Chains A and B, each alone.
Chain A
């Protein structure tokens, strides 16, 4: 479809869409009704998964996880764990490979994933064994007794390095770590680039992060040997397209995996899809142990390996005309999914596909989508789902275009927005934008949002030499996904062979009992969005009831409830999807009751209205019956029903919009049903001393169609804003460049708290969607998409930088902005320039150096260094030392700092020996606290009265210590190494010039000292 001519927003102004505050209606729909859910939740009476009583005899599970990012499992010895009283079983990859199948993968690639690692581990935190015990404490104790021998392999962390020649392969059966690449061309981008006045390019890096639920994963699994079925309670959130994936892995039919979800949820944000591998694992555990099995994920596990959004590297460029018009876009999107493709990955790369041009009327587009695997935890669903990654590139680019053309950013935005009056609008890659008025939103946001005030604040700050910037972001927010969008990933010919995939089914059931109470179930899972409230509003709107007359139960039971593969709570499918099904189901009940009542009231059904719990004649309101009375008729008196009407009052409605077509032959796809619009504007100030970013003002303008409940809408927007802010400034899963995981506690994975969150100003217009009965669109993901790039644009404006590293941490801005150091420290421990600081960020080698002076001659010091007995007495906490070769030792050591202590197996080697001059000390330690390996050079030089030993070292720390102790590691490494040399020095120093007998005495006394 060709682009419509651009018209000014002014011309469209007379048909101004309504504002929420304009509406006047007696219906509860559209009213800011407080949430029905909150009373119980705020009083601590929620019914979360962990609150559901476990069946008698339930065993508790603990997952033993890989401490290394990549390696072969050489041996697993569970005998010591099994011997611990209270331990019932320990599952390993052998068990799951025997009793289950690998999960289905969206790509035709050999990427088998079981619930426990089979033969090979591919990321830190990958489940390797499962301990089942009487309680969780015993299970954790036993987990330390599971002996697993790994053969470490090189790990790959960076997606660009992963696709380089010779990179270690995450899955050796795949020929490359780039497991999927597709190129898409829409229009004639090459021609547009050839004819462009300017080409503006940018590279952006979207980080790895999560939106973390308070409640972690919970699974309670039972196995029924009588019919071989599984009954599992889990805080799974959908999409239920994962249900067949689980059933297939368990080797049962769908009906033999009964999956139930609890009444309340401690948050999800997409993350709780990823409980599904554990549904299978605990199902297998229940089958093997013959007992119910319960697993509650803890925060450490959750941070380590629950889920995350994918990180993405985007190269984006625009062909632009001098007047600011963007005529074409090219994008190369490389998305890093971690070690496996969990169903339904690579969703984030394709969910936005039809809307790749965002809010802009750009007819020519070229996109390359690459799916890359690395040795990181698998990525999966997350709020925003592909939107934040897309808009970081697109909206940063718009800011760069304005700079390149020396134009105002807003002028570039306005020049390119999909014009008013162009709806429904077909975007280049196939999205059919249903409704909206983007230029009007920009006008309202900059007008009522007081852009002029923001500019005054900026100018005043800059006049005082402070760093202040303004950012914008214009974002199209899709809702309710086309179930066929992922098939865009495979070529049209392959799609034809596989059969069409498209559409999205929504289901809801409304039931009226003999007392006239209404109950509703739907194809949703509870996540905290307030669906109970909005569903009640929709039903009350149809049936003229009070909110309390409606009971909504959203506990899902896959054996008893209505659901489809599209079921679940994700991709903002409620407002354009399930809400519509509820509306239709309640409408069917209304029609039926109207006919029953008309019969009894002697009026026509068209004359019936539902008001205040009465069903009555519109023309003669005194002629009416109580709602409960009419409902009772359907139950008690089938003979009184109109002819041909079935008794009972239970209606299930199905809603499947026709606009969600499969991808076309030329790869155009309408990826979602409804498309809202968000326009954000903010001012930030950056502290020149600390480089902290403070959001000074933030304005967010939304058009999400008709608002079903403005109060809940506001809550959703504020929540998404906080998470967008988190992406911009705080949250990131960090790995070191060898694949070690560094953010295993909430002291290192930084979720903003209320003190970090600024107040925001919200604005709305309502352009109802013509494609849904209620006109409502999703709105809960928009700020996850708009806020990160809006803040990034403001930071770029404040500091005049092109590359804005997300999250924008003070350390990173300091590295970019601080010049050379006036007086660097004498020891080269620290990074001294911004360039090396930026390059080194992934490196977690701890480095240091030092020197000790010993009152003994060089020859004696050298001998002592090579003397195993002396080493044993010198190595801090050494219990035993075995000589395995010349200058090659194995030791059992207790190492620690202050109260933190652990027992480790150590390997120590001395090499590159230049007698009495220098040598190399290297080795490693492994233990439950983690592992470390390192090397250092020692140099000896004679000085007056003795010897000076100088040393430097480089130590890499991994496992638990690196994941949770990062803040103290640098100091701890320093301390332990210094301890070694100080002990060495003090042992020898005192013996300066003393006869060897005395030296021997001291040595033997040291050896007798109880450890």
Chain B
């Protein structure tokens, strides 16, 4: 469990990081907290020629609250976000989902953007970003672009990030007045990858339901409040549509049934928090 040789680069600015990526492209991997990447390197699952360590780039360590969203820089750790006293008011769903991300120790190093850029189908943060309709900010020597979460995550560990691009920040929309959110996860042990995770947002006229761990990326469906009476049928059909993956901890059928059983409680939680 030792990695293959690689070149280690630690840029001090975003511009330097973008230069490095522009030079190394596919041969480089970006490292922020390293909580996933280092394990994968040590297991020799990832083969790369260069590591671009962005953890000490000052520009990337900001958490900025605008009128519409909370922007989290790429070097910001999960625990920094979680320890924000006003988080439960700013992005209530994040305050509910973040405690499920790994363990206290991994959250001390792991970053919010890193989790989203890694695009694991079972991760809580991509699910939260997708459910809330957040955005991902990408930067390269060619310029900056902003993608919607749904455009960013393309599939299993796959995103729209070009090899020369750096995720510099993600933007979580601020919770609106009267909205409520809910989060629920089933994992074998606390801190494990979710077998199924569910998130819900209750808005004035509709419910957004997000499901992680079942398909190759988070699935988000909007259910008009008028249709809530048919919720069981909607969720049943949604579970069948998502299909689900198999692994040694969960059959696809078990995953689908978790969706069927837990969608209502998570929606109820969101409704109970809404005004």
Contact = CB atoms under 8 A, between A and B. Distances in A.
Given A825-B240, A964-B45, A900 B248 contact: no
B40 interface: yes
Nearest to B216: A971
A823 B245 contact: no
Nearest to A969: B247
Interface string B238-262: 0111111111111111101110111
B248 A742 contact: yes
B186 interface: yes
A689 B251 contact: no
A288 interface: no
B236 interface: yes
B47 A901 contact: yes
A748 interface: yes
A823 B236 contact: yes
Contacts of B2: 136-137, 140
Given A141-B4, A825-B256, A899-B157, A815 B236 contact: no
B44 A756 contact: no
B226 interface: no
Contact of A811 (B3, B46, B249): B249
Nearest to B192: A747
B29 A899 contact: yes
A975 B247 contact: no
Given A823-B239, A975-B155, A747 B40 contact: no
A331 B93 CA distance: 55
A837 B253 contact: yes
Interface string B187-199: 0111111000000
Given A753-B191, A975-B156, A300 B253 contact: no
Interface in B141-176: 155-159
B134 interface: no
B126 to A, nearest CB: 12
B241 A689 contact: no
B62 interface: no
B55 interface: no
A830 B45 contact: no
A714 interface: no
Contacts of B188: 730, 750, 809-810
B190 A755 contact: yes
B190 A830 contact: no
A969 B248 CA distance: 11
A821 interface: yes
Nearest to A813: B254
A969 B216 CA distance: 11
A754 to B, nearest CB: 9
Given A823-B236, A823-B239, A830-B246, A967 B193 contact: yes
A822 B253 CA distance: 11
B241 A137 contact: no
B245 A690 contact: no
Interface residues of B, number: 57
A902 B251 CA distance: 27
Nearest to B119: A898
A831 interface: yes
A897 interface: yes
Contact of B40 (A750, A815, A899): A899
Contact of A750 (B189, B237, B260, B261): B189
A299 B39 CA distance: 12
A899 B245 CA distance: 20
A968 interface: yes
Given A752-B189, A753-B189, A815 B254 contact: yes
A810 B192 CA distance: 15
Contacts of A824: 240
Interface in B101-123: 118-122
B254 A810 contact: yes
Nearest to B43: A964
Contact of B251 (A299, A822, A830, A929): A830
A967 to B, nearest CB: 5
Interface in B130-147: none
Contacts of B85: none
Interface in B22-44: 29, 37, 40, 43-44
Nearest to B238: A823
A125 B192 CA distance: 25
B234 to A, nearest CB: 11
A826 B240 contact: yes
Contacts of A968: 120-121, 156-157
B156 A971 contact: yes
Given A823-B239, A825-B243, A748 B29 contact: no
A965 B39 CA distance: 12
Contacts of B262: 689-690
Interface in A673-700: 689-692
B235 to A, nearest CB: 10
Contacts of B241: 825
A191 interface: no
Given A823-B237, A967-B122, A902 B47 contact: yes
A821 B239 CA distance: 11
Given A755-B189, A826-B240, A970-B246, A900 B252 contact: no
A965 B193 CA distance: 12
B45 A965 contact: yes
A829 B243 contact: yes
B257 A814 contact: yes
Contact of B252 (A748, A826, A831, A899): A831
A809 B157 contact: no
Contact of A827 (B243, B247, B249): B243
A968 B193 CA distance: 11
A899 B46 contact: yes
A262 to B, nearest CB: 22
Candidate in A689, A730, A747, A928 with the most chain B CB atoms within 10 angstroms: A689
A966 B250 CA distance: 11
A936 B236 CA distance: 30
Contacts of A299: 1
B258 A689 contact: yes
A730 B189 contact: yes
Given A825-B241, A831-B251, A900 B45 contact: yes
Interface in A823-860: 823-827, 829-832, 837, 846
B75 to A, nearest CB: 19
B253 A818 contact: yes
Contacts of A971: 121, 155-156, 216, 245
Interface string A943-962: 00000000000000000100
A837 B158 CA distance: 30
A292 to B, nearest CB: 20
Nearest to A847: B246
A846 B257 CA distance: 20
Interface string B180-211: 00000010111111000000000000000000
A689 B256 CA distance: 12
A703 B119 CA distance: 53
Contact of B248 (A144, A743, A815): A743
Contacts of B121: 968, 971
A802 interface: no
A916 interface: no
Nearest to A838: B251
> Which of B1, B119, B158, B260 is most buried by chain A, counting CB atoms within 10 A of its CB?
B1
A252 interface: no
A742 B252 CA distance: 17
Contact of A929 (B5, B45, B48, B158): B45
Interface of A: 136-137, 140-141, 144, 298-300, 689-692, 730, 734, 742-743, 745, 747-748, 750, 752-753, 755-756, 809-811, 814-815, 818, 821-827, 829-832, 837, 846, 897-902, 928-929, 960, 964-972, 974-975
Pairs of residues from A and B, 3 with the lowest C-beta to C-beta distance, nearest first = A898-B157, A830-B252, A689-B261
12 contacts: A690-B258, A690-B262, A814-B251, A815-B254, A831-B253, A897-B156, A898-B158, A899-B45, A900-B157, A969-B247, A974-B156, A975-B155
